[in-house]
Homo-oligomer: A and B are copies of this chain.
Amino acid sequence: MSWGSGGAGRGGYHCGMDLDEIVGKVKARDRRTVARLISLVEDESPQLAEIVRAIGPLSGGAAIVGLTGAPGVGKSTLAAALVSEIRAEGRTVSVLAIDPTSPFTGGALLGDRLRMQDHATDPGVFIRSMATRGRLGGLAWATPHALRILDAAGADVIILETVGVGQAEVAVVHAADTAVVVLAPGMGDAVQASKAGLLEIGDVYVINKADREGARAAARDIEQMLDLGAAGEWRPPVIETVAEQGTGVGALWQAILRHREHLGRSGGLRRRRLDRAGREISEIAVASLRASIGGVGDGAVLAGLAEEVVDRRLDPYAAAEKLLGRAGGP
């Protein structure tokens, strides 16, 4: 139940390993191999198809917990505190933090992840941030790949943490087994959360920084807005936490486990997995189609067509048709 650290060679197929070796290393939870596979996802490597095929049979065991909320509510701190809670039960956990591509802000991110360093030497914990570039469709394409790799590498729990809170992030977290929406008093409160579409996706709500003024009111607001929503089989609980001190984090973990039990009983777990697989298949198909367009994003054909559109010699629909025609598309 722990992550190995055997070194891997360089060069050749992938880091000098053939497919069988990669599968073996993933099975053995070799950290460096797993880290490199996530890098392949970031690089949108064409090798991923065979790797996903090969490691697929190893996956399906992890519980996927999504964590989203506005910047500044304390998601990273909460994720680190959850890791402690999960580890105390002896389960292995992987944290996947989805970062936007941010070349000149590496330092800031690192500083913020310092709390995670407490777990860096724990062989039962694997932490990785992933920057998505978006050529093949960004988050929607990359996240299922990364989850499949972490799952195949035997994580009992995967915490998927987003940094932004937009359409793509909300969709990704919504596809987790349990979607946790994190709020904080005075920021990301009920109205703001509803504006960001967060009040429809949470299975569990957290008011973090609950020692601050306005925490009770924020929790009450969320409860009231949830009362207005459609009554389902599962009423999302609202948990107050002070992640910095670990307060309430046990209660949060229990709520996540209760939600998971509910999913198991109600058939919801299979529905979510079908939904997630459906999205994964679609995104792979769309990425393949995008690739068939050819130079989209940086190609000379597209640049020429863009000139014609800006100069109003061509409308964008006609330009898109020409682009598809060059790519031999439908």
Mask for A267-308, Cβ within 8 A of B = 1, else 0? Answer: 000100111011011101110111011001100001101110
Complex contacts, A192 vs chain B, CB 8 Å:
71-72
Q: Is the interface of A mostly helix, strand, loop or mixed?
A: helix
A225 to B104, CA, bound (A): 9
Complex contacts, A307 vs chain B, CB 8 Å:
274, 277
User: How many residues in A have their beta carbons less than 8 Å from beta carbons of B?
Assistant: 93
Complex contacts, A318 vs chain B, CB 8 Å:
53
Q: How many copies altogether?
A: 2
Is residue A35 within 8 Å, beta carbon to beta carbon, of the partner chain?
no
Interface set, chain A 100-145, CB cutoff 8 A to B: 100-105, 108-109, 111-112, 132, 134, 138-139, 144
A278 to B310, CA, bound (A): 9
Is residue A328 within 8 Å, beta carbon to beta carbon, of the partner chain?
yes
- Selected from B171, B197, B285, the residue in CB contact (under 8 A) with A324 is B285
A205 to chain B, nearest CB (A): 14
Interface set, chain A 299-330, CB cutoff 8 A to B: 302-303, 305-307, 309-310, 312, 315-321, 323-324, 328-330
- Selected from B60, B108, B285, B292, the residue in CB contact (under 8 A) with A194 is B108
Is residue A83 within 8 Å, beta carbon to beta carbon, of the partner chain?
no
Is residue A52 within 8 Å, beta carbon to beta carbon, of the partner chain?
yes
Residue on B with the closest CB to A283? B320
- Selected from B134, B163, B289, the residue in CB contact (under 8 A) with A330 is B289
Complex contacts, A323 vs chain B, CB 8 Å:
281-282, 285
Q: Which of A196, A229, A280, A297 has the most CB of B within 10 A?
A: A196
- Selected from B53, B70, B138, B286, the residue in CB contact (under 8 A) with A315 is B53
Q: Is the CB of A310 within 8 A of B274?
A: yes
Is residue A191 within 8 Å, beta carbon to beta carbon, of the partner chain?
yes
A sample of 17 cross-chain residue pairs with beta-carbon separation below 8 angstroms, ordered by A number, consists of: A60-B312, A71-B193, A72-B188, A100-B170, A100-B197, A102-B195, A102-B197, A105-B197, A166-B167, A278-B297, A278-B306, A281-B302, A281-B305, A282-B293, A285-B320, A289-B293, A289-B329
